[in-house]
Amino acid sequence: VSELLRRLRERGWRITPQRRAIAHVLAGEHVHLTAEQVFESARSTVPEISLATVYNTLKELVAMGEVSEVANGGGPVRFDSNVERPHHHLTCLECGSLVDVYPEGERSLSLKDSHGYEVVGVTITYHGYCPDCTGEAAAPN
C-alpha cells in the first residue's frame, strides 16, 4: 500500500476502484504527472475511468492537501503526492523532466522582501538541462 493511499484511508476517504487507481499512479517520489498522464495510466487498471473523474479527484486531493500542484513554466500543471517532505523542484527546459530536490539551508525572505505578507511557504523551481539532454548521462567520469 502506498504512502498516499495509507494517508487517504486514515482520513476516511472513500476508496473506489477509480480513486485507488489514481492514488496508485500518483504515489512515490519524483512522480509529477499531468492530469492527462494520470488518466492514461489509471485507465490501464480501470478502463472505464473518465477524464472528468480524474480531474475531479485531483481537485479534491489538492483541496485536501494530499497532493500539490506544481507549476511548470508554460506547460500543464503537474500533480505531486510527495507532500509530507517539503521540497523544491529541478526541471529540464528541454524535455520537461522534473525531479524533487532538497537543497540545504533555509530559503526564507528577509522582512524587507516580504512586502508585509505573512509568508507560510515557499516553492522553488530550478531550471536547467538534464543529463539526457546535455548528453552527459553516459559520459564516463
Give the footprint of Zn ion on this chain (CB under 5 A).
80, 82, 92, 94-95, 100, 130, 133
Contact 61, 42 (CB under 8 A): no
Shortest Å distance, C-beta 132 to Zn ion? 5
Shortest Å distance, C-beta 112 to Zn ion? 30
Shortest Å distance, C-beta 45 to Zn ion? 23
Q: Which is nearer to Zn ion, 44 or 94 (CB)?
A: 94
Rounded to an integer, what distance in angstroms lies between the CA atom of residue 94 and that of residue 122? 25
Q: Which is nearer to Zn ion, 60 or 100 (CB)?
A: 100
Of 100, 81, 104, 1, the C-alpha closest to 33 is: 81
Q: For cell 485507465, what's the residue?
A: 43
